[in-house]
Amino acid sequence: MTVSVHDARPCALGEGPLWHPERQQFFWFDILSKRLMTQNGGKPHHWQFDDLVSAAGWASKDELLIASEKELFLFNLETGTSDSICPLEADTPTTRSNDGRADTQGGFWIGTMGKSAERFAGAIYRYYKGELRELFVGTTIPNSICFAPDGSRAYYADTVTGQIMAVDLDHDGWPTGNMDIFLDLRADGLNPDGSVTDAAGNLWNAQWGASRVAQYSPDGVFLQTIGFPAQHTSCPAFGGPDLTTLFCTSARQGIDSETLAAEPLNGQTFALQTNIKGQPEPRVIL
C-alpha cells in the first residue's frame, strides 16, 4: 500500500474527513483557517467561514451538518448558504468544536475543547432528531469518535489521557452504562487522535506526533500500522467508489518553521488504496 498526496494544500489543523456517499465526494476541514475543503473534478476548492469549523455529517445530497465554535448549522454545498440548527456552547467563547462523526442510527456526535486545550474545558454531545444532549463532560481534547458497524458501540478518546474508550449504545444510539477502556496507549507514548471503523469493525486510529495510522481489531488487538509522511496525522476516513481508499488529514500545528521547510508534506491530506473495505457514513437525521 503506497501513500500518495491527495491534496497538497497544507492545513494548519486538518480534521473532520468525510466521504459523502451520495455525492461521491471527499470533504475535510482546516480548523484554524476556518475552511471546509474539497476538490471538484480534481481541482482544489474551499468554503471560507467566519468561525472555526471542524467536523460534519451529511444530511442530504447537497447539505452538510457542520459543527462550528458556536453552533451546529446546515450548509448547502450548491448555494453556499447556511441555516442554524442549534447553539453549541455559544455562550462560552473560549471553546470550539473538534472531532465529530455520525453514528449508525443517524445521530451526530461532536466534541468541544478549549481553544488553548485548557484541561477539562470540553464535552461530548450528540445531536439526534432535533435534540442536542450533553453526554460526557470534562474532556480536554476529544477525539476518536467512531462507531461499530452494527451501531452497538461508540468509541472516543480524550487525547491527553492516551486511552480510547468504548461505551455500549441502545437501539436509538444513546449510551448505556459507563465507558470502558478499549485501548491503553500510554505505555507506548502514543496520542490517539481521530479514528474510523471499517466494515469489519476494526478501528483505525491516527496517532498525533507518530506519523501513522494504526489498525486494531474489535477486541483491541493491534493489527498493523501505516506510515504517513507527516508528523501529526489527525484523522482517517474511508472513501472512494468502493470505500477502499483510506484518506488521512494532517496538521502543521506545533511544528517549527525549520522542520516544515525540510518536511513540506506536513499538513497535507493523503490517500492510499487498500484491500480493506470501509463503511458508508450514515445520513444525519435532523
Catalytic residue IDs:
193
Spell 159-186 as b/e; 16+ CB within 10 A means b. Answer: bebbbbbbbebeeebbbeeebeebbebe
Amino acid at 50: D
Cβ count within 10 A of residue 263: 15
Placement of cell 492510499 in the chain: 272
- Around 74, how many Cα atoms within 13 Å sit in the side-chain half-sphere? 14
Distance from the Cα of residue 68 to its chain's centroid: 13
- C-beta of residue 53 within 8 angstroms of C-beta of residue 82: no
Sheet holding 14-20, edge to edge: 14-20, 25-30, 35-40, 43-48
Q: From CA 79, how far away is CA 63, in angstroms rounded?
A: 10
Cβ count within 10 A of residue 279: 19
Instruction: Identify the sign of the CA torsion 27, 150, 185, 161.
Output: positive
CA torsion 28-34-35-36 (nearest 10°) is 50
Q: How many residues does the chain have?
A: 286
Amino acid at 177: G
From 203, 190, 211, select the one nearest 255 (Cα to Cα). 211
Cβ within 8 Å of residue 222, ≥6 positions away: 214, 215, 216
